[in-house]
Amino acid sequence: MGLVMRILLLQLLLKASQDKKFVCEEADRALNKMVEFMTPLPLLHKLRAYASHANPRVRAKAAISISLCASKMVHGLQGMKEFGLVSLIQMAADLLNDRLPDAREAARSIVTSIYEAFTENEENEEQKQESWQDFCQSNLQAIHAQAIVKLISSW
């Protein structure tokens, strides 16, 4: 089943990346339904490979689906840790520098979901910012950490 799912997912991402409006819309609709009805964790594992795909449109569509999965995680931080919190933030950091605006916007949404889950138990805003900054600095390259901390502090 895993191979069939991977092939289906790749085909949907490729179709959603086409110039043909009808095909693109239908593939987007199918991707959204997949995200809506599947458990986020297994789907995130399948989508991970496409976040660094050579085709920028495929990357953008994968980033949007990853963003939807991250925001849908019921157990927030626990689910993200099961996937790999560091992997997720690194993926988002890479996507923040993507050529396509859709990928960058999805990356911002992923970062926001991670931040909200990561700081949900913090008492005050200062504590949230400090623990978030420590997390980013210890798990990302300095330039990426700075961009993500700035992104969160700007909203």
SS3 for the chain is: CHHHHHHHHHHHHHHHCCCCHHHHHHHHHHHHHHHHHCCHHHHHHHHHHHHHCCCHHHHHHHHHHHHHHHHHCCCCHHHHHHHCHHHHHHHHHHHCCCCCHHHHHHHHHHHHHHHHHHCCCCCCHHHHHHHHHHHHHHHCCHHHHHHHHHHHHCC
The structure's pTM equals 0.92
**Once rounded to an integer, what is the mean pLDDT over residues 51-79?**
92
Question: Percent of the chain having pLDDT more than 90?
Answer: 83
Q: Give the pLDDT of residue 154.
A: 82
Rounded-to-10 torsion of CA 21, 47, 111, 52: -80
For the chain, which domains are there?
2-153 (1.25.10.10)
Is the confidence at residue 97, as pLDDT, over 90?
A: yes
Under a CB-based contact definition with an 8 Å cutoff, are residues 81 and 34 in contact?
A: no
* Predicted pLDDT of residue 74: 62
**pLDDT at residue number 122:** 84
* Whether residue 110 has pLDDT greater than 70: yes
pLDDT grade for 34, boundaries at 50, 70 and 90:
very high
Q: What pLDDT is recorded for position 1?
A: 54
Q: Is the pLDDT of residue 133 over 80?
A: yes
Q: How far is CA 80 from CA 10, 37, 114, 117, in A?
A: 23, 18, 8, 8
Please state, in angstroms and rounded to a whole number, the distance separating the CA atoms of residues 46 and 57. Answer: 17
